[in-house]
Structure 1
Amino acid sequence: MLVVDDDFMVAKVHSGYVARVDGFEVVGVAHSGADAVRAADELRPDLVLLDIYLPDVDGLAVLRNLRDSDADPDVIVITAARDLDTVRGAIRGGALHYLIKPFSYEALRDQLEHFRSLHRKLGSLPGDAPAAQQDVDELFGARARNPVAPPKGLASETAEVVERILREVTADGGDLSATECADATALSRVSARKYLEHFVASGRAEVRLRYGGAGRPERRYRWV
């Protein structure tokens, strides 16, 4: 896999995420569009994690270039860009998925597992025979049937409570930290964060980083 991000530390974090998923390996890291195209041509990765905001060219231009190249890897877009034009551009460019930064390890793991299952299905089909409609439906519908696994010990009743509180805070224009969620639900901070991260991984919530004084930035959650 090739990781493309202009921020050296972010690229390192994402590479670490990839290394934690069994069967996946980062073969290269690029910090510009030109380096990404060159690395893809030299390394021939099966998958590229592609940022949109690059110092030399737009990531969508890199995506189109990769599609026209001999390497032609699959691409998952990873970006802070939320505008619909960028999302449409990624879809039209053939990206497998679009992850909005900052995302959790679980969210990326889910996409890598989807990529793996997709290619296993493709590999199981006979190359010299026409695909049946059932095969095509499974390939194009695999994403919907591959939901994020719920955290161990997740209770539906508690999830509903966390969801209700998160929805209320978001409706008022705010966001919520794991500590604040724990206070509102009488959960431990660890349990509250587990539920919140599950909602993020399943696409029902988003997380933003709030930078303050010393220490790690605070993760703030909103319902989407």
Structure 2
Amino acid sequence: MKRHILLDTAPIPDQAEALCLFEYGEDFVIKLQSGKGGQLMNSRMHGSEDALAAIPCSKVAGRPAARVLIGGLGMGFTLAAALKALGPDAEVLVAELVPGVIEWNRGALGAKAGFPLQDKRTQVHNDDVARLLQSDAQGFDAIMLDVDNGPEGLTHSNNNWLYSLPGLTACARALRPKGQLAIWSATADRPFTNRLAKAGFAVKEEQVYAHGNRGARHTIWMCTLTGG
């Protein structure tokens, strides 16, 4: 019988919480140490994480030297999907706040996604994605955010700003004309959809299966910057 085996614990900066990496048979699972929110990530179910990058990156892949930003490394599947969709001259920046998550992706966990951190197009920053957004006006063709379980700060309280109108407006300023913004969530949220529109985006909600074509479905907001 399979059971969860704790492999490592990674503190979340400036929070009392920590992330825990478990081995579960042939798979890996990440949970909050407190148990709040249940299972955050599972290496067997990453269909929606793949779609988070595949859809927006396919729309900008034809741009010369496309430059994209991923907020949240997670288990590396979003990064791997972005690299697959983009050309050889692309640049993919990844902002990951928790140092331990970066180290997990360089080890055994990284093999599940094909070690995307080793790709020469990848630049990983141990930093808050909000800081990168605010320091690079019109710097990106696409931005993909998967920093929490939805449009609220579950794992880190500072994430609340990112999902606020000022945070979404900062995303808009960081995008090039007709840039793409994709945001992952475990559930739908109508007020958040309206907030995206107020920030200057044409918004489409996608419901994507977590694994294959059955079971739980997650929400991805696919947004195109208008007026550029």
Normalising by structure 1, report the TM-score: 0.37
Q: Which has the higher contact order (CA 8 A, sep 6+)?
A: 2
Structure label with greater radius of gyration: 1
Say which structure is richer in strand: 2
